[in-house]
Amino acid sequence: MNSGTVQYSGVKCRDDIPSVLTDDGYYSKKKRYVRKDGSCNMVMHHVPEEWLLWVTDIFTTLVEIRWRVMLLTFALSYILSWLFFGILFWIIALTHGDMKDPNNEPCVYEVRSFTAAFLFSLETQTTIGYGFRGMSENCMIAIIVVTIQDVISVFIDTFVIGIAVAKMASARKRAQTVGFSNCAVINLRDGHLCLSWRVGDFRRNHMVEGTAHAQLVQHLAHSTGKVDVTYKDLNIEENNIILATPTTIVHKISPGSPLYKVSLQDLRKESFELVVSFTYTDDCTGILHQTRTSYTPSEILWGQHFQEMIRVTRKNYRVDYALFNHTVKVLVPELSAEEYDLKKYSQQPKHKPLHTSSPTAAVELVNGNSLEAEKASTSSAVQEHEL
């Protein structure tokens, strides 16, 4: 590209699968590192003692599984406990002779079959109490079994209620009400190229405080099959946000930015993935949440600006979320931030140095230009000596 000519252009957001750079320069198709919904796109294999880890932290395991799996697990825990203690009551009645002799004083009244034993176990654990079946004082072992069943039923109920409440109050659900824009944009702000994206809270009750963070994730695949993943942080201006209204997160592409040497043409060839997150505390529950998403180079619009979605009325601020993902085209040079800064500085008018006397040299010395001041003072002294 000719540096003397500044071209302006823009790109559209596409759903192309990004590429990964290999050590021999070959670009191969790859999947996202972080999906648009914020979940990580990875599968773990050969985890040491994986089942033991799941069972050890059973509470977190049940909170993370799907609702249908959790409900099936809880239903089976109740049914199996009823069946287990029903079998025990049936064995007690069988050994006590309640099945053979109807005139015998039973251990459990009206329990003379397996079906009756199962129903007695169900009625005991759920505290139904129909009034037909009940304990007698003849068998101490049956009384002990009933006591154990009551204690276990309390533990099961507590566990089920705790898991259900924790799952309904999960941070993952609250994170779905905080969203990012579908695409990021690159435009000019105060004479500098900036990368920006939008984040907004779709609920009325807002968070206490929030912090925005961004990382550039790059993959380098070797011919041996090894993949190196590098992470580079992006500096965000004003990353501490109170998200009362949708906010545009801005990263100024300065000399310390990984995108400082990336132009529009380079952006179309890049294989990085921009992973952004917003961590905040909900004001209702006090729980810490985090919302994530990612942008590929095809989802970064060059020469676009987010459309304003906030209007001021007489009584309040009106936010139109229909414009949350809308962008408008603006003039932005196709140069990289480095090339743009060099061209901008080269076009600034150059001032010729002034040959001043020693008072001017003293002023320059006060301003901090000590070396130039000393040269000017020496030159002035030589000229006065010659005169």
* Top-confidence residue, 3 or 322: 322
| Nearest of 325, 267, 324, 323 to residue 296 by alpha carbon | 267
| Nearest of 357, 363, 354, 353 to residue 381 by alpha carbon | 357
Q: How far apart are CA 16 and CA 270, in angstroms?
A: 13
Going by the DSSP 8-state scheme, the letter that residue 133 receives in this structure is -
The yes-or-no verdict on residue 186 having pLDDT over 80 is: yes
The yes-or-no verdict on residue 362 having pLDDT over 70 is: no
The yes-or-no verdict on residue 39 having pLDDT over 50 is: yes
Contact in structure between 188 and 332 (CB atoms under 8 Å) = yes
Contact in structure between 376 and 356 (CB atoms under 8 Å) = yes
The yes-or-no verdict on residue 301 having pLDDT over 80 is: yes
CA 169 remoteness from chain centre: 17
Backbone phi, psi, residue 364, to 5°: -65, -35
* Top-confidence residue, 130 or 217: 217
What is the CATH class of 50-171? mainly alpha
Type of residue found at 74: F
pLDDT of residue 19: 46
| Nearest of 115, 114, 117, 116 to residue 142 by alpha carbon | 117
pLDDT band at 101 (very low <50, low <70, confident <90, very high): confident
pLDDT band at 8 (very low <50, low <70, confident <90, very high): very low
Q: How far apart are CA 197 and CA 311, in angstroms?
A: 20
Show me where the domains of the chain are located: 19-36+182-342, 50-171, 353-387
pLDDT of residue 378: 46
- Coil, strand, or helix at residue 198? strand
Fold of 19-36+182-342: Immunoglobulin-like (2.60.40)
* Top-confidence residue, 5 or 140: 140
Backbone phi, psi, residue 207, to 5°: -85, 165
For the stretch 107-160, pLDDT in tens is: 888 888 899 999 999 999 988 877 788 888 888 999 999 999 999 999 999 989
Would you say the CATH fold of 50-171 matches that of 19-36+182-342? no
pLDDT of residue 206: 63
- Per DSSP, the residues of 31-69 read --SB-TTS-B-----S-TTHHHHHHHTHHHHHHHS-HHH
pTM beyond cutoff 0.85: no
